[in-house]
Amino acid sequence: MKNKFYQYIQDLQDSITTKLETIDSKAKFKQDLWKRPEGGGGRTRVIENGAVFEKGGVNISGVHGKLPKSMQVYFNVGVVDFFACGLSLVLHPKNPMVPTVHANWRYFEMYDEDGSIIDSWFGGGQDLTPYYLFEDDAKHFHQTCKTACDKHNPEFYPIYKKRCDEYFYNTHRNEGRGVGGLFFDYCKTSDDMTMENWYNFVTEIGNSFLTAYTPIVEKRKDLPYTKANRDWQEIRRGRYVEFNLVHDKGTLFGLKTNGRIESILMSLPPHVQWVYDHHPKPGSEEAKLLEVLANPKTWA
């Protein structure tokens, strides 16, 4: 399974970066191949200063070795070996009318002393973070997620949509990071699902990503915007940074397993503002966004 899924994310990285370069038309992804001293490595691809994407990364990695002490405590296990692979992407568009997007699809295995698998699971999801709320965009993104989920189980979308709203939430701000999408983790063998079933589900979601996001980019990338719009975008990006550094489990896992720091912090936007005690004008488009972030909606 690990070889099969790692091949899948290599191919998916190729298809996603090719499509994004076509949309941007100016910038190209720079590739960085790296190795982890303890075992494994990855292929980082970053795009910067494009016509559409100010900064973005589409990264894959496959790492293995002894599970660090801090993660043994986290998973409540003893001394074990592990393998983890996944694709993680974040795209920060230049135009404030185009939402930031994040996605991740991953697979994890844990082994006992003789190399037998003692646990394995899939995880992942995709979520949208707009700066200005276009309801049609949120509906399109969520409907694409729902359509992909429904091919496997009609209960998946409402469950994983709710988990996404709960997970991507800045508790110290009492607001969501964005308008959500899907979030699933610890997808293991059960009475209803084999690991092959989970592989088919996770790859279905991965394959839906470009359909979910790129039509929104195409529709909004040439809309006019002002310096005030841009300032608001940078203030909201600050909230994005806060979530990733304070709450995100993927960031935590990477830092605690001696992950590659450049790849881990690839998700951070290049231009951000923290304005003291900032509040948008009541009734404004900015205030409208905050209202939805405080009270997640049903989009599909």
d(CA 147, CA 158): 12
The helix-helix angle for 2-24 and 195-220 (nearest 10°) equals 10
State the pairing for strand pair 169-170/180-187: unpaired
Residue found under tokens 């039509």: 215
For the stretch 85-115, what's the b/e string if a residue is b when 16 or more beta carbons lie within 10 angstroms of its beta carbon? bbbbbbbbbbbbbbbbbbbbbbbbbbbeeee
Query: Is 20 within 8 Å of 14 (Cβ atoms)?
Result: no
C-alpha–C-alpha distance, residues 46 and 219, integer Å = 23
User: In angstroms, rounded to a whole number, what is the distance separating the alpha carbons of residues 130 and 171?
Assistant: 19
Euclidean distance between the first and the last CA atom of the chain, given in angstroms as a whole number: 32
Q: Catalytic residue, from 102, 152, 247, 271: name it.
A: 102
172 in catalytic set: no
Phi, psi of 93 (to 5 degrees): -70, 160
Active site residues: 102
